[in-house]
Amino acid sequence: MEKELPPHSRLFKRFEQIKNLNRIALMPFVMAGDPDLEISSEVLLKLDQAGVDVIELGIPYSDPLADGPVIQQAASRALKSGTTPSKVFDMLSSLKGKLNTPIVLFTYSNPLLNRGMDCFCDDAAKAGASGLVVPDLPLEEAEILSPIAAAHGLDLVLLVAPTTPSARMQRIAESSKGFTYLVSVTGVTGERSALEERVGTLVKELKECSSLPVAVGFGISGAEQVRQVRTWGADGAIVGSALVKRIANSSAELAPQQAADFCKELLSATC
């Protein structure tokens, strides 16, 4: 008998809870294995205790095309420390019962296809993940992966870029699950001193396409930009490079707490 899936996912429900609190979601990105998986585990627990809403957990890859230098270097350090997808799943599994924040795994197509879509999704779900982001997966392939992910209780979150044509944006918004990931810049990840005003227009367009929450990422580096994302009517702000840089520049002992302190600053701007 085919498993009946719930009408709304854990990610969607989390966004509904946050909306009822009249604020937006804070969604930090952490590179698993940077500097090692033990520290990553401690960072995840500290972020959970700090009250972040969703955590995007990167699986390191040797050719991260969507990422800027900060996250590329983090991936390189993680690979050098011996981090593999299997070890990331093991780390996540070890946190069951301790970690309450939904985890969205950020990976690239090659590790996913190498493992096999069904096998990867099964392993991710058993480890406790709530969703997947695969930035280099074409929409046509995503439409194949999405039902496979859903069968394991995972949301496949799709990305929209500023250069995405309107017709394709509509299709992406209709196909994404959990939330839609709006890339705020044309280019790779990295801190920016300011976000482009046209992002507000893109948020509005996406909300006209679908009732799914919209989270803005790429380039958000501080509380002021989180506030800006909120004024545009988005439902979440994703912070990657700015947090990854703080972890990289901290000692292993201080990194988890410094990551949490930074996210507490950002949380103050979500309402």
Q: Catalytic residue, from 34, 67, 155, 191: name it.
A: 67
Neighbours of 114 (CB within 10 A): 10
171-175, long-range: CB < 8 A, 24+ apart: 171/139, 172/139, 173/206, 173/209, 173/210, 173/212, 174/209, 174/210, 175/139, 175/142, 175/143, 175/146
198/182 Cα distance (integer angstroms):
12
Torsional class of 166: left (φ above 0), alpha (ψ -120 to 50), beta (otherwise): alpha
Catalytic: 141?
A: no
Catalytic: 67?
A: yes
Taking CA 269 as the corner, what is the angle to CA 265 and CA 271, rounded to the nearest 5 degrees? 135
Q: Catalytic residue, from 16, 36, 53, 56: name it.
A: 56
As annotated, the active-site residues are 56, 67
